[in-house]
Amino acid sequence: MTVRTSLTLVLKRAGYQVTTASTPKESIDFVRQTNPELILMDMNYTHTTTGEEGLQLLAEVRVFCPDVPVILITAWGSIGLAVKGMKAGAFDFVTKPWNNLMLLNTIQTAIQLSKQDEKQKDAALSTLPLTDTIIGRSPLLTQVLQTVNRIAHTNASVLITGESGTGKELIAEAIHQTSNRREKPFVKVNLGGISQSLFESEMFGHKQGAFTDAQRDRVGRFELADKGTIFLDEIGELDMVCQVKLLRVLQDRTFEALGDSKPRHVDTRIISATNRNLAEMVVRGTFREDLFYRINLITIRVPALRERLEDLPLLVEHFVRKQAETNRTEPVEIAADAYDFLRKLPWPGNIRELKNLVDRTILVSGKSLITGKDLKEQYIEIPVSVDVEQPKVQSLERVERNMILKAVELYGGNLSKIAIALGVTRQALYRRLEKYDITLPE
């Protein structure tokens, strides 16, 4: 009763129309007749504290309104169950006692995203002023830019995935520059380069005298990013101790600088990036499951260069032009056979590798016309492991179907583990199983 009263007061003050239900039956009766914009759902309704009642109600509610975002309310002891709820289709979870501002931001984000129907998503074409940074017009890259357009103006946390050298940082910058936070700081943090001993000082700052070498106050990265965006690159490299410390500030945007007992609050959007498979790391126990769900409300996968070879000429022309501007010379020409040579390469280093090859060939050859032979002389072949080496090109649908079959082989009929391993929701997994006519083992 107290929870419902408090939430009703907060939401009405924020301008929302609120309807409450005290029992699961009242909730089901309501959603049978009405399709709300959003549902806030506690995990327990009787004297039990297992949270199973909440999971059961979530499953029943989604039968009647599958597209309505559901935010779960949970105590610390049932966070594991809340994560299960997100696997079952919940939008997010908040912990008791909740932060009113963070709760309202989460609600606003959920409603904004749910209002964007599939027709608008498919029709949206990128209008981002990114010609000097993100080069290409391939379908896969266009889909990424469309996603950037759709989610930039929300406060949703974003996880950018993709191989090394694909341009994940550029996508993060694009989100920031297209958002309402564009006039505020965009703070980049390479988590792979921060040791465990320096993590708190770097991220949260410290007071003078907090430790031996703390000769003056230091402002942490989160405080620097206040009202702006913080980009957490290589988040998959964080050890478990640092993951716990990071999770705390992501949950309510509050932290304490080393040597200071006064909590500080920041309004910061979180964008993370990794070239590792965090879902597999969760299964192996090397990445926290609650942190995984906290950072990837929206996931954007940046395609590898070999998946967007149609963009290769545009990229080469861009690098040639930039090289000429740097050296104050006329741009060189690229022969047709040079492009034929480039299209046959595996590109394990992606766009970064392509830029390196083009720049090196121009500088070393000194020619005004670059041929395939010139590129071949400067090409450095990088040994690729069997797991990473790509087979002959297959359709994306065939690759996706094979990956699902492999996950089914590994985890049998366990839908949750299959979905985590593939990095998709259970609902998305159901659709793919039906699409590819895949039957799970009993």
Shared domain for 128 and 224, answered yes or no, is: yes
User: Considering the domain boundaries, does residue 184 fall inside one?
Assistant: yes
Shared domain for 319 and 272, answered yes or no, is: no
CATH of the domain at 423: 1.10.10
CATH of the domain at 332: 1.10.8.60
Summarised one tens digit per residue, pLDDT across range 142-172 is 889 988 988 999 989 999 999 999 999 999 9
Is 431 or 185 the better-scoring residue by pLDDT?
A: 185
Task: Using the 3D structure, point to which of 303, 329, 351 is the last residue of a domain.
Answer: 303
Summarised one tens digit per residue, pLDDT across range 68-101 is 899 988 876 567 777 788 888 888 888 888 889 8
pTM over 0.95: no
Shared domain for 63 and 85, answered yes or no, is: yes
Shared domain for 140 and 86, answered yes or no, is: no
How many alpha carbons lie under 13 Å from residue 440 in its C-beta half-sphere?
Answer: 19
CB 4 within 8 A of CB 36: no
User: Considering the domain boundaries, does residue 441 fall inside one?
Assistant: no
What is the tally of structural domains in the chain? Answer: 4
Shared domain for 148 and 31, answered yes or no, is: no
Amino acid in position 146:
Q
Query: How far is it, in rounded angstroms, from Cα 298 to Cα 278?
Result: 14
Task: Using the 3D structure, point to which of 246, 268, 303 is the last residue of a domain.
Answer: 303
CB 229 within 8 A of CB 269: yes
Summarised one tens digit per residue, pLDDT across range 340-397 is 899 889 999 999 999 999 999 999 998 999 999 999 999 987 665 444 444 445 556 6
Please tell me the least confidently modeled range out of 19-23, 179-183, 434-438: 434-438
CB 85 within 8 A of CB 58: yes
Is 221 or 89 the better-scoring residue by pLDDT?
A: 221
Instruction: Express as a percent the part of the chain with pLDDT over 70.
Output: 90
User: Considering the domain boundaries, does residue 8 fall inside one?
Assistant: yes
CB 236 within 8 A of CB 276: yes
pLDDT attached to residue 121: 42
What distances in angstroms separate CA 162 from CA 6, 13, 205, 278, one per listed residue? 42, 42, 30, 11
Does the pLDDT value for residue 56 go beyond 60?
A: yes
What domain range is 342 assigned to?
A: 308-378
